[in-house]
Amino acid sequence: MIAHVPVLCAETVALLRPDRGGLFVDCTVGLGGHARALLEAGATRVLGLDRDHTALARARITLEPCRDRVTLVHADYRDLDGVLRAQGIDALDGALADLGVSSLQLDANDRGFSFQRDEPLDMRMDTKTGNTAAQRLATVPEDELADVIFRFGEERFSRRIARRIVEARAEQPIDTTGRLAAIVRRAIPRQGRSRIDAATRTFQALRIWVNRELEGLDAFLATVARRLRAGARFAVITFHSLEDRIVKHTFRALAHGDTRLVTVLTKKPIVAGPDEIARNPRARSAKLRVAERLSS
């Protein structure tokens, strides 16, 4: 029995067709739910990547019954080409990338992804490299910060928020999620009741910025497409419009032009149904797109 059931699992497995066997790569293995489902549905072997050490440790537990058919590697999905070369792998029979923040990361008490608790403002997916969100907020110029919040959070009050953050950090370091959320909320004019917290867009923007989530995403998608065997499929799950837009346009570019690599199987993204959303409210923003490698 799968201990962790990820978003859109049944739809993803059905479209990737692991019953044909072969090597599948889960580029963001997370807690291992998708990978185990692929193995139980017939995949011969799974290579799993993740840049979060804690997630990899949990994935090993999830995948323990299938350990002889699994290889887990601590790596950023954008380093996939290097990982495949190191593993001596030339071609893939299927691939998956779930680009969302995992439940483990959101629910952990010391990661700083959520403002539901007051905790250290970290936000790094790989906690052993790079600067934390607190460290970056301490020195980033106001104009750059405003651009980050507007671009990655699509927040129309980005300049007001950036100004308040810069003013607040001059008085005291912004090193906890609670302090940052309070600053953001005070910066945004009251507009009646809203279904999302006023700090949501800013937290999303800073998380994307700290982890470079959109940087190189299009190149990564093209890399996977080139590595697929003819007829193999690539499934990508996104959780916000910026990621989904990149996936949509990159798949479209790979499906047209002089060098047609794939055909896009999902004219519109697949979304979670009401039953799944009821079980897991985080699934409501998930979008699944799938492309299939053409014969060369």
The arithmetic mean of pLDDT across residues 197-225, rounded, is 94
pLDDT of residue 2: 38
Residues 222 and 88 placed together within one structural domain of the fold: yes
pLDDT of 1 reads 35
pLDDT 10s digits, 103-113: 666 666 678 88
**70 shares a domain with 46:** yes
**Which residue has tokens 């990621």?**
243
Task: Give pLDDT, residue 215.
Answer: 94
Which is more confident, 295 or 234? 234
Same domain, 136 and 206: yes
157 and 29 within one domain: no
Tell whether 246 and 123 lie within a shared domain: no
For residue 107, give both structure tokens: 């629910």
Residue with tokens 């697929």: 228
If asked whether residues 121 and 186 sit together in one domain, one would say yes
Please name which of 92, 73, 97 lies closest in space to residue 83, comparing C-alpha atoms. Answer: 73
Question: Is residue 41 within 8 Å of 13, Cβ to Cβ?
Answer: yes
Cα distance between residue 72 and residue 88, in whole Å:
14
Check whether residue 93 and residue 19 sit in a common domain: yes
Q: What is the CATH number of the domain that holds 219?
A: 3.40.50.150
- The amino acid at 240: H
Query: So what's the pLDDT on residue 113?
Result: 87
Burial of 261-296, coded b for 16+ CB within 10 Å and e otherwise, reads bbeeebeebbbbeeebbeeeeebebbbbbbbbbeee
Shared-domain flag, residues 207 and 179: yes
Structural domain containing residue 51:
9-99+214-293
Residue found by looking up tokens 């990978």 in the block: 35
CATH number at residue 199: 1.10.150.170
Distance CA 12, CA 266 (A): 12
Query: Do the bridges between strand 287-293 and strand 262-264 make them parallel or antiparallel, or are there none, so unpaired?
Result: antiparallel
Are 250 and 221 in contact by the 8 Å Cβ rule? The answer is yes
Examine residue 69 and state whether it is found in any structural domain, yes or no. yes
pLDDT for 3 equals: 43
**Final residue of a structural domain among 211, 240, 255:** 211
3-state secondary structure 146-168: HHHHHHHHCCCCHHHHHHHHHHH
Domain assignment present for 107: no
Residues 55-98 have pLDDT tens digits of 999 999 999 999 999 999 999 999 999 999 999 999 999 999 99
Q: Considering the domain boundaries, does residue 121 fall inside one?
A: yes
Within-domain flag for 75: yes
CB 256 within 8 A of CB 190: no
Domain count, the chain: 2
* Residues 234, 288 within the same domain: yes
Q: Give the pLDDT of residue 286.
A: 95
Domain boundary among 181, 211, 241: 211
Q: Which of 21-25, 40-44, 197-201 has the lowest mean pLDDT?
A: 197-201
What is the predicted pLDDT for the residue at 102?
67
Domain-located, residue 143? yes
Type of residue found at 271:
V
Q: Which residues pair with 45 in a beta bridge?
A: 23
Q: Judge if 281 and 137 occupy the same domain.
A: no
Nearest of 293, 296, 288, 291 to residue 232 by alpha carbon: 293
The H or E element spanning position 292 is strand 287-293
pLDDT tens-digit series, residues 3-20 = 456 899 999 999 999 999
Residues 206 and 287 in one domain: no
> What is the chain's mean pLDDT, rounded?
93
The pTM for the full model equals 0.91
In a domain, 2, yes or no: no
Determine how many CB atoms are found less than 10 A away from the CB of residue 260: 11
The answer on 133 and 200 residing in a single domain is: yes
Give a yes or no: residue 186 inside a domain.
Answer: yes
Q: What is the pLDDT of residue 197?
A: 87
Question: First and final CA of the chain: distance in angstroms?
Answer: 39
The last residue of one of the domains, among 184, 211, 238, is 211
Question: E-strand spans in 197-268?
Answer: 228-238, 262-264
Task: Please give the structure tokens belonging to residue 127.
Answer: 């906690």
Per-residue pLDDT averaged across 29-39, rounded?
95
Residue 66 lies in a domain: yes
